[in-house]
Structure 1
Amino acid sequence: MLSFRDLTYRIAGRVLLDHVSATIPAGHKVGLVGRNGTGKSTLFRIICGELQTETGGVELPNDCKIAKLPQEPPGGSQTPIQYVLAADTEREALLAEAEELENSTSMEDAERIATVHMRLAEIDAHSAPARAAVILAGLGFDEEMQNRPLDSFSGGWRMRVALAGCLFSNPDLLLLDEPTNHLDLEASLWLEGYLKSWPRTFLLISHDRHFLNSAVEHILHIDNTKLVLYRGNYDDFETERRLRMEQQTALAQRQAEQRKHLQDFVDRFRAKASKARQAQSRLKMLAKMQPIAAAVEDPTVIFRLPDPEELPPPLIVLDNLTAGYVPDKPVLRHVDLRIDMEDRIAMLGANGNGKSTLAKILAGTLKPQAGQIRRSGKLRIGYFAQDQDEVLDESRTPVDHLADLMPNATVEQLRTRLGGFGLTREKAQTAAGKLSGGERARLLFAMVTHHAPHLLILDEPTNHLDMDTRDALVQAVNEFKGAVILVSHDRHMAEACADRFWLVADGTVKDFDGDLDDYARYLADKRRAAATVKLKGGGNSETSAADRKAERKQAAAARQALAPLRIAVQSAEKALARLNAEKMQLDATLADPDTYTTMTPAKLAELQKQHGEIVRKIEAAEETWLEAQAKLEEAQSEAA
């Protein structure tokens, strides 16, 4: 189906692909992986004929239809459904021809019309609008959105439309370059399932480990200018590659020992006439031995998030909070949440439901419209926003950027901080515009965490990061001593880092009881229910309005019933916070060496007694808080 034959390509004198050969049979689902800058997107352009190779080339069937996800989003007055339907160019051409010949009376045209309609039937043209609508719905477009002009959408949503067009066109070879970068977790899960049943060949560039594990059956790895095809998903590839590297290293060691043995013989006996012929023979053996290079692992990507000091719980409490951007049009309502130092929480919910809005509320960059938000007085927050990359000045170095945030730090201190994120002295003095995507991400994390935050809010932090950088980030987040709130379409990161999930949906936020497999089932059930309602023709609008009014009254009554329980929880939290603050003061006093030289034994004994009493009071206060919290959660569960 797809073959690379002795293919060489170089850019600006640097060899990206060096005499590579590989064959991908028809129907194979292949993940194309490799570090950023190794030539993955370049290989896609070579396949499409956009770039010319130095040697060799690509072999494809003559009638092979290729669809490649574009890098730029579509626009204009065309609607998403119109754009997707137009992606099937054969159908569009046949429909246009049929319309043009419709009023013709010639026998020749009549025969042609019959042929056109026969072909339209063969490609199932009549069902095309329904098929296009299903794909758009899977990628997050409801009926109203499908019929809005493309120019009314953001770039991310328009990239979803481009992806829908590629899928709808049913190509023989589908090329997808980071298709999940503009998707939320819900759309990523849908795409994962859609590609599992894809009947033809596709190549997928992705740094999403879970997506690669689920969607592909082979891995094509670009490494050190070479191509190697592995059978299995990404985890299988890592296991086999590790084994190959170990075997190559062992072979290289054995060869080195053999070469040393031959060379020692030559050095000892070259001058002796009786051994001269044997020495010459061994010299020829040495000359013929092809050197085996020991496998060299890529350098480890470094992420070291600075740890904050401990703060007593809670860090943040939201009480009946309402948030949005336009008065009287809230995005979120009746939000009751609490965050503590040990929390690792991932947000679930489709784009547009309010995940970024909640992140901004927690970060303090957006004020609530109603309700209360209480923060610990010493709380420091690090907020990595989706558009974080825009804060970088392309002409300034990482040292310059960090110096703006740490004006009292020396250049050496700034370099040390950047070194904790894998930015060496050379990279620390390189203009941001010349850094790779992973290096820019590490600079941004160094900036976001420069003040050792207690709470780290990460809104899509893995976009454009390669696999190694993502793995390093996951490890750093797991080792971080503060709280973490995560918004990410990267399922592997969410599963590896989060202990709890918040579901942001239907205008509010609530705990999701389950893991991401449960969430995938929840979404599937929701889609089936929506399809059933649509099949039945929907409900009566007046009845629906009455139901919504009744639901609002019921919710108000439930909130009123929960009020005393919330007050009890808040009182317990305040008491616990006060006791923890007293304990911290006593701890500091007892840890001070001067205390034991300036204080009388009686006073010291009194302090130690107070410390013991505070510890007992904290234990009792914790029990009171846990009991109050359990009652509140039980009541909330019954009211849900």
Structure 2
Amino acid sequence: MIAINNLTFELGARALYDEANWHIKPGEKIGLIGANGTGKTTLLKMIVGEYTPTSGTISMAKDLTMGYLNQDLLSYSSDKNIVHVAMEAFARQNQLHDEIETLLNKLETDYSEDLLNKLSDKQHEFELLDGYNIEYKAHEILAGLGFSDEEQKRKLNTFSGGWRMRVMLAKILLQAPDILLLDEPTNHLDLPSIQWLEDYLKAFTGAIIIVSHDRWFLDKVINRTVETRKGKLTVYAGNYSFYLEEKAQREEIQRGEFKNQQSKIKQEERLIERFRAKASKAKMAQSRIKMLDKMERVDDVDDDNPTVNFSFRFSKQSGRHVVTLEHVSKKYPNLEILDNTDALIEKGDKIALIGANGKGKSTALRIIANADKEYTGTMTTGHNVTTTFFAQHQLESLHLENQIIQELQAFAPKHTDTELRTILGSFLFTGDDVFKKIKVLSGGEKSRVALAKALTADANFLVLDEPTNHLDMQSVNILIQALQQYEGTLIVVSHDRYFLDNVANKIWFIEDKKINQYPGTYQEFDEWYSKRKLDPKAAPLPAPKKEEKKPEPVKLPQSENKAQQLKKLNQDLTKLEENIASAEKEVKEMEAQLADNTIFNQTEKLKQINNAYQLKKMDLGALQQKWEVLADQIMELES
């Protein structure tokens, strides 16, 4: 179908591709992956003819039709409604429609047989091309991509860039080309639209090449993975999960080959060094030197997926109830978002707020973060709750003249430079990268800086709106690891389902203007919701998981007034915090003992320390529960 042979593409002094080869077969559904800057978009542009290779060839049949979705299409403008824009895909059908209209007008005055024959031929071709159904097809695909009947009547120019990109995608899908080339097709889609696109692409009979950072999407759609790395293209015969397993196996083999070769090289070098000075052995030494020079070297394996270890700090533990929403309603002039809804965020919750665009996800986040106060009902923040709110518009608040390290120093002065550089290193800013000015960074790099800032805040509650936008897979994986280590509470909006499945322990979804809760992971929710769509009665919303029994509140003498009660409770709380700090210190000391290699072989001692460790952990848990109860009582008295 398409043959890429010995492809080289140079960008200045750098070769993005160096004699790369790849054959694309009919019907293959391919994920083109690789780190940012390795030339994925460049390769698509070479395939469609927008860029010319430095050397090598890209061969294909002359009649091959291609549909190419890329971010440049955001500049497309039209004052036609979006149905007509989408129907531009049917060039021949539209031409025939106009010709038929012209012939029908002529027939009002001219009844010649020649005109009737022409009309019959045109109508026959129009019917063969399914011309009478093209408008229905356009409506169907636009609906699948999230456009309501009313929105389909609006002009393209009245939509924002993300929605215009959906129209361009609809137009390309309606063309039904032999091969689809899709560069980040899920960037501007909400979850229902992504799921619709997955089903559409799985049923598509042509070939597909997808560039995407959405692991879940790739796993659902593709049956081949092609990695662009170090100027080469490597093919894996499966989806993204298969690629990860297969690559790990290949790397293990490569790592073994590298170690064996290094051992052999060192052995040869020792022999050469030993015999080089002896005249009788000099010839043999020279022969071995030539052999080493000719040896094809095996590269060591690069670690593309670093593990990170964040040291989160927040000076105060929050109370049990972090945020409480009661009878909250939110309306815009022509749209009602929330209607008399209640919700509760508890300490330790990691919540994913999901749903279609326009259902109120970002609005709910802004209310929870106290960034939107134009609503009815009440939003109550719990005792000792400190909040950090991350949203994409906050990229604009970065100080452009600051260096990256300066931006974090100003925001988190309590952290040392070493700690800040460690955090930035986790977000792939290493060495002198930390001295780059914000103004020279890409959108994805700015997003990583803003996230690093959010994670250095002294906050026990994180509110995150689309934190994975502009992040590649490696950066998303780093963010997942960071949030898994975060011991506070968080709520996040994202359309990256792999990210949500690895971060969230509860799912919130807005339905009928109410916030509903599913007590489980995203994958569990997805399976439940799929069953519910088929038969709502067979899959009722599961009940929340039962809470552990909390200690009884401290009973205060009736004779004491409110001020006296508060003083006594705060004294108890301070004492309890000292006990918790002491218990935490003991737990860490025991963890250090358990990690000590010297006691691994001392079975009895290891058992004793482990038993003491488990008991101390239970004591710490009990102290923390007592703290939550006391904090709740203080909050009630203060309100």
Secondary structure of 1:242's counterpart equals helix
Structure 1 residues 2-13: aligned runs within 5 Å = 2-13=2-13
TM-score, normalised via structure 1 length? 0.79
- C-alpha displacement of 1:313: 1.1
2:34 partner amino acid: G
Matches within 5 A, 1:355-394: 355-394=361-400
Structure 2 distance, partners of 1:528, 1:134, is: 21
Distance between the aligned counterparts of 1:426 and 1:240, measured in 2? 34
Partner Cα distance (1:204, 1:152) in 2: 28
Aligned equivalents of 2:184, 2:371: Cα separation in 1: 30
Greater shift in the superposed pair: 395-404 or 368-377: 395-404
**Structure 1 residues 65 and 112: CA distance shift in structure 2, 3 A:** farther
Q: 1:408 to 1:478 in 2, by over 3 A?
A: closer
Give, in angstroms, the shift of residue 399 of structure 1.
3.4
Alignment match of 1:174 (pick from 180, 200, 203): 180
Tell me which residue corresponds to 1:86: 88
Q: How far did residue 481 of structure 1 move?
A: 0.8
Equivalent-residue separation in structure 1 for 2:290 and 2:98 (angstroms): 73
**C-alpha distance in 1, partners of 2:86/2:22?**
33
Counterpart selection for 1:322 from 326, 329, 332: 329
Identify which range, 150-159 or 475-484, moves more after superposition. Answer: 150-159
CA positional deviation for 1:520: 4.9
Paired with 2:320 and 2:233, the residues of 1 have a C-alpha distance of 52
Structure 2 match to 1:338: 344
Matches within 5 A, 1:255-404: 255-269=261-275, 278-279=284-285, 281-298=287-304, 300=306, 304=310, 306-308=312-314, 309-326=316-333, 330-404=336-410
Partner residue in 2 for 1:58: 58
Answering whether residue 592 of structure 2 is matched by residue 586 of structure 1, we say no
Contact preservation (8 Å) 1:397, 1:430: yes
Residue of 136, 145, 148 corresponding to 2:151: 145
Q: Which stretch shifts more, 215-224 or 243-252?
A: 243-252
Amino acid aligned to 1:323: K
Q: Which runs of 5+ in 1 are unaligned?
A: 531-571, 594-610, 626-640
C-alpha spacing 1:225/1:409, structure 2 compared with 1 (3 Å): same
Q: Could you tell me whether the CA contact under 8 Å between 2:341 and 2:513 is conserved in 1?
A: no
Cα distance in structure 2, aligned partners of 1:502 and 1:43? 40
Matched, 1:35 2:24: no
Q: Is residue 3–residue 23 contact of structure 1 (8 Å, CA) maintained in 2?
A: yes
Q: Are residues 280 and 316 of structure 1, via their aligned partners in 2, closer, same or farther at CA, if it must alter by over 3 Å?
A: closer
Does the C-alpha gap of structure 1 residues 410 and 294 become closer, same or farther in structure 2, counting only changes over 3 Å? closer
Q: CA offsets per residue over residues 468-507 of structure 1, 9 Å max, x none?
A: 1111111111111111111111111111111111111222
Indicate whether 1:234 and 2:243 are aligned. no
User: 1:160: which partner in 2?
Assistant: 166
What are the residue-to-residue correspondences of 1:192-271 with 2, within 5 Å?
Answer: 192-269=198-275
Are the structure 2 counterparts of residues 54 and 172 from structure 1 closer, same or farther at C-alpha, using a change threshold of 3 Å? same
After superposition, the C-alpha distances for 1:560-593 in whole angstroms (9 at most, x for unaligned) are: xxxxxxxxxxxx9999998985642222466899
Corresponding position of 1:558: none
Cα distance in 2 for partners of 1:107, 1:496 equals 71
- Aligned AA for 2:101? E
Shift of 1:464: 1.6
With over 3 angstroms needed to count, the CA separation of the structure-2 counterparts of 1:436 and 1:621, relative to structure 1, is closer
Of 125, 131, 139, 1:133 maps to 139
Cα deviation 1:254-284 (Å, max 9, x = unaligned): 2333334444444445666765665555444
Separation (CA, whole Å) in 2 of partners of 1:573 and 1:324: 39
1:552-567 equivalences in 2 (<5 Å): none
Pair 1:425–1:287, CA change in 2 (3 A): closer
**Given the superposition, is the C-alpha separation of residues 161 and 514 from structure 1 closer, same or farther in structure 2, using an over 3 Å criterion?**
farther
Secondary structure of the corresponding residue to residue 250 of structure 1: helix
Question: 1:313, 1:573 within 8 Å by CA — same for their partners in 2?
Answer: no
Question: SS where residue 481 of structure 1 aligns?
Answer: coil
Taking the TM superposition and a 5 Å limit, the aligned residue runs for 1:423-502 are 423-424=429-430, 426-502=432-508
RMSD of the alignment, in Å? 3.7
After TM superposition, the structure 1 stretch with the greater mean CA deviation from structure 2, 391-400 or 39-48, is 391-400
Return the offset for 1:376: 2.2
Aligned position for 1:96 = 98
How big is the shift at 1:285?
A: 3.2
- What are the superposed Cα offsets for residues 396-449 of structure 1, whole Å, 9 maximum, x if unpaired? 322343355357888777656645644335222212232344432221012223
How many pairs does the alignment contain?
A: 565
Distance 1:231 1:112, change over 3 A: farther
Q: Percent of counterpart pairs with the same letter?
A: 32
d(CA) in 2 for partners of 1:493 and 1:131? 33
User: Residue 371 of structure 1: CA displacement?
Assistant: 1.1
Partners of 1:40 and 1:205 within 8 A in 2: yes
Query: Could you say what secondary structure the match of 1:333 adopts?
Result: strand
Higher mean alpha-carbon deviation, 51-60 vs 578-587, is at 578-587
The more displaced of 299-308 and 164-173 is: 299-308
Query: Which 5+ residue runs of structure 2 have no aligned equivalent?
Result: 537-551, 557-564, 583-618, 634-639
SS of corresponding position for 1:317: strand
* Cα contact 1:301–1:422 (8 A) shared by 2: no
- For the Cα contact (< 8 Å) 1:353–1:506, is it kept in 2? no
Paired residue type of 2:366: K
CA positional deviation for 1:94 = 2.9
Q: Which amino acid aligns with 2:160?
A: S
| Secondary structure at the counterpart of residue 325 of structure 2 | strand
Equivalent residues in 2 for 1:564-583, closer than 5 Å: 583=572
Question: Per the alignment, do residues 330 and 253 of structure 1 end up closer, same or farther by CA in structure 2, a change over 3 Å counting?
Answer: same
Structure 1: how far apart are the matches of 2:485 and 2:213? 22
Cα distance 1:528–1:311, how it changes in 2: closer, same or farther (>3 A)? closer
Q: Would you say the 8 A contact 1:301–1:469 is kept in 2?
A: no
CA contact (8 A) 1:69 1:177 kept: yes
Q: Does the 8 A contact of 1:344 with 1:500 survive in 2?
A: yes
| 1:574–1:146 CA distance, 2 compared to 1 (3 A) | farther
More moved, 339-348 vs 403-412: 403-412
1:305–1:476 Cα contact (<8 Å) kept: no
Q: Residue 237 of structure 1: CA displacement?
A: 0.5
Instruction: Please give the per-residue CA displacement for 1:518-558, whole angstroms capped at 9, x wherever unaligned.
Output: 6556776888899xxxxxxxxxxxxxxxxxxxxxxxxxxxx
Q: Which moved more, 1:380-389 or 1:298-307?
A: 298-307
